[in-house]
Amino acid sequence: MTCCEGWTSCNGFSLLVLLLLGIVLNAIPLLVNFVDEGQFFHNPISCFEWWLPGIIGAGLMAIPATTMSLAARRRACCNNRTGMLLSSLLNVITVIGAVYCMLVSIQALSEGPLICNSQEKSTSSCEFSFNNLSDIHPESFNLQWFFNESCLAPTDFSNLTIDGFMASDWRKYTLHFNSKENKHRVIHFSAFLGLLLVGILELLFGLSQMVIGFLGCLCGVTERRSRIV
């Protein structure tokens, strides 16, 4: 059998789980903000959930390829060369969405929530520009805003010592919602770390299905499969 219905079906099921997970993770900070403030765009946790990396990137853009791959369970898309080629092409959209989700998540983890970066703490301080996604530098990426006792960076670095760092950052810091700042940090970190993992996995499954679909198009299908149409 030249058509890998089993692998294609597995990819489809995996993409379905990932796209649902991406939507849920993206919705968490939006819903928390709405419950706390009673309205959207007022004191949001961060700007980046409004880029909708999980809802659009990892979610909607993965639906066409997921639907096509799940059809393999009924042998509806893997019984001809055209179907296999279409399955491969649709996963290009999935890969683009996954990369978008990853880039937004990396930028969000690098900058932290608004409570750590803006005095206004509102979307009026957000700059929604795709140029921001190209400004990611490995040397500037750190999670100091999350691991410090306070996410606001200290102004006097000369007074920092190893003992002081251990005392303030590791003994006092907890992952409990004992303050609004800690709550925003934990939600921001959890949501975008999860979205980053979702984007990476979607990228891998999308690329694998592109290869399988391309090979299926080249090799064709068995005569027994062709008679099932």
Q: Whole-angstrom Cα distance, residue 188 to residue 116? A: 11
pLDDT of residue 74: 65
Instruction: Provide the token pair at 177.
Output: 């919602």
Domain ranges of the chain: 5-123+159-226
DSSP letter at 116? G
The H-or-E segment that residue 98 falls in is: helix 81-111
CB 115 within 8 A of CB 184: yes
pLDDT of residue 28: 94
pLDDT of residue 124: 54
pLDDT of residue 225: 46
pLDDT along the chain (229 residues), means of 10: 67 94 95 80 82 95 91 65 83 96 92 75 60 60 74 50 46 58 89 97 95 79 46
pLDDT of residue 119: 59
Closest CA to 50 of 125, 110, 116: 125
Q: Exposed, middle or buried: residue 72 (CB in 10 Å: 0-12, 13-18, 19+)? A: buried
pLDDT of residue 163: 47
pLDDT of residue 35: 85
Supply the DSSP string of 122-175, one letter for each residue.
SGGG----GGGGGG--GGG---HHHHSSSSSPPS-GGG--HHHHIIIIIIS--S
pLDDT of residue 19: 96
CB 214 within 8 A of CB 86: no
